[in-house]
Structure formats: C-alpha cells, structure tokens
Amino acid sequence: MIIAIDGPSAAGKGTLARRLAAALDLACLDTGLLYRAVGAKLLAGGQMPGDRAAAERAAANLMPGDLSQADLRSEAVGEAASEIAAHPEVRARLLAFQRRFATEPPDGKVGAVLDGRDIATVVCPQADVKIFLTAGLEARAARRLKELRERGEEAIYPRVLQEMQDRDARDSGRAAAPLRPADDAIVLDTTEMDSDAVFEAVLAITRSRFAGA
Ligand code: CDP
C-alpha cells in the first residue's frame, strides 16, 4: 500500500503523513527532509545552492545520518532546499532512495506514506491513494509562523508570508517535477479544516479505497 501526499509548504502534509502511518502501521518518509539535508550540506560547506555540480555531489553522497541533523527545519535550510530541488540532477540522485522506500518499506511494514511535492506525479505514479493537500497562502503562512515561534525561532508574519509566496512560485514554476496535483489525485483544501478533520477525511478515503479492492 502506497499513500502519496503532495502539496505546497505548510499545508499540513507532515502531520497528516505521520498520523496515517501510525494508524495504518505503515512506514513514513518526509521526502522534504532529503532536499533539506542536501541544502544543509551545501550551506555547511560554504557552497551556494545554485552550484549544480556541488549540489549533485552532496545528493549523491547523502548518508542516513544526514537526515537526523538538528537544524534541518530552519527557514534558511528550507530556502536552500527549494533552490537545490530545482536541479534535475539532484532530483535524479534522490529518486532511487524514495522509490525503494515505497516499494520495500523498512521494518517489515506492508506499505508506506510519502509526503512531498512530486510523489504522485514522479516518484510513485502507481500509488494507491493520491492526496494533494493545499490551503490558502495566508492560512499556510499563519501556520508556519506558529510553528516557527513554537520552536523558539524569531519570525514576523509579513516576512513568513513573502517567503512562502517565493517558495510557492519556485516549487510550482520549476521545469523539473513542478508542484502540481496528479490527474487522479484528490485535492483537499484545508484552509477551513483542522488537522483532526483532515486526518479523518483522508483515513476515510484510504479505507474506502481498500474496502473495494
Ligand atoms: O516544510 P516545507 O513544506 O516548507 O518544505 P519541505 O517539504 O521540507 O521541502 C523543502 C523543499 O524541498 C521544498 O520547498 C521543495 O522545493 C523541495 N521538495 C521537492 O522538491 N520535492 C519533494 N518531494 C519534497 C521537497
């Protein structure tokens, strides 16, 4: 069983993916972390995210331990991640790991939940359930602001809003695997939904998919 959850920043993909995986006993992969880890490696080495060769090298040499570094969630790393994610050679390097995770999930699990931008369109077009989770720009900026403040980072709304807008434009406008719903994805606008409502809705969709199988 493969569940693909795609969507823009701060739409609630991560929370949903973790809850679904726990409820259905599936493995869970936040694919944004792979891109964040590559971005963090470049920043740590003093290289620019625009340096395609350096970014490809960093992606090719990614180690499991790189995914558990402490600062991967910072806005600076997110920004670098979004830049290196536009390089097709970086995406190609990260593809095999994601596909293997989906088809041969770790810990003997019978399936996996993957969240990202291109899971249903590129990584796992064969996924059993494809959800495109979205929400209005202001709602997502407000969620991200709350998240940053809860982590103790200083953040102001206008700046978070602007960064989110820039990130949306970059993720949707790039030529390589742009952010878009797969033709057969279910699009869920969560602007007016809390995380419990989103979880219940997607759980129901997943159960109905398998009840009919
Ligand atoms: O936390 P947030 O949703 O802002 O970002 P993330 O999911 O951690 O991903 C960071 C960046 O990696 C995104 O802005 C995307 O550009 C990129 N990414 C991607 O291109 N493809 C994926 N499957 C996952 C993330």
Per-residue pLDDT at 49 exceeds 80: yes
Provide, rounded to the nearest whole percent, the portion of the chain with pLDDT above 70.
99
pLDDT one-digit tens code per residue, 62-121: 988 899 888 898 888 998 999 999 999 999 999 999 999 999 999 999 999 999 999 999
pLDDT in the model for residue 69: 86
55 C-alpha to ligand 1 centroid (Å): 15
Per-residue pLDDT at 198 exceeds 60: yes
Type of residue at 82: S
148 C-alpha to ligand 1 centroid (Å): 16
On the 0-12 / 13-18 / 19+ scale of CB atoms within 10 A, 161 is middle
Mean per-residue pLDDT of the chain? 94
Residue 210 CB neighbours (<10 A): 11
Residue 153 — pLDDT band, cuts 50, 70, 90?
A: confident
117 C-alpha to ligand 1 centroid (Å): 6
pLDDT one-digit tens code per residue, 122-145: 999 999 999 999 999 999 999 999
Mutate to test the pocket of ligand 1, among 82, 87, 145 (most ligand atoms within 8 A of CB): 82
Instruction: Return the ligand 1 atom nearest residue 98 CA.
Output: 23
pLDDT in the model for residue 203: 97
pTM: predicted TM-score of the whole model, two decimal places: 0.93
Cα–Cα nearest to 19, from 197, 210, 208? 197
Angle separating helix axes 157-173 and 137-150, nearest 10 degrees:
120
pLDDT in the model for residue 126: 97
Residue 29 — pLDDT band, cuts 50, 70, 90?
A: very high
Instruction: Return the ligand 1 atom nearest residue 119 CA.
Output: 23
CA distances from 181 to 14, 36, 117, 133 (A): 17, 22, 9, 9
pLDDT in the model for residue 212: 61
Residue 154 — pLDDT band, cuts 50, 70, 90?
A: confident
- List of long-range contacts for 198-201, beta carbons under 8 Å, 24+ apart: 198/12, 198/15, 198/16, 198/133, 199/15, 199/16, 199/19, 199/20, 199/23
What residues line ligand 1, using a CB cutoff of 6 Å? 9-10, 31-32, 35-36, 78, 81-82, 85, 116-118, 167, 171
pLDDT in the model for residue 70: 83
pLDDT in the model for residue 47: 95
Per-residue pLDDT at 157 exceeds 80: yes
Residue 213 — pLDDT band, cuts 50, 70, 90?
A: low
